[in-house]
Structure 1
Amino acid sequence: MIVLPVPMVVALLLGFLFLRATLFTETPRLLAALLLACACQSVTVSVVQYYGVSELRLLQPITASLIPALAWVAFLEGAIRSQPKSRDLLHFLIPIVMACAVLAIPVTIDALLAVIFVGYGVAILVMLHRHSDDLANTRLASGHFPAVIWRIIAIALIASAISDICITLALSYGYRGAPGLILSVFSSVALLMIGFLCLSPDIVTEPVEGDGDEYDAPSNAPGLHRQENAPHKTNEDVPVHAIMEQLEALVIGKKLYLDPDLTLARLARRLGFPLKQVSTAINLVTGENVSRYINKLRIEHACRELETGQNVTTAMLASGFNTKSNFNREFLRITGSTPTKWQSHSTVTQQTSISQ
Structure 2
Amino acid sequence: MKWIWEQNDWPRFAFDAARFHSFERAFHRNAGLIIGSMTAISADDVDELRVTLLSSEALDTSMIEGEVLDRDSVQSSIRKQLGLQTDGKRAGPRETGASQMMVDLYRSYAEALTEERLFSWHRMIMNGRVDLEEIGSYRTHVEPMQIVSGRLDMPKVFYEAPPSSRIPDEMKTYVGWFNHAQEEGMPTVIHAGIAHLYFELIHPFEDGNGRIGRAIAEKALAIGARQSLITSLSTTIERDKKAYYHALEQANSSLNITEWLVYFCEKILEAQVHVQKMIAFIVEKARYFEKYDEQLNDRQKKVALRLFREGRGGFKGGLSAENYLRITGTSRATATRDLSEMVELGALKKTGKLRHTRYYPPFFDQKHQAETAKANKRL
- For Structure 1 versus Structure 2, the TM-score category normalised by the shorter chain is 0.3 to 0.5
With the length of structure 1 as denominator, give the TM-score of the two structures: 0.36
Report the structure, 1 or 2, having the larger helix content. Answer: 1
Larger radius of gyration: 1
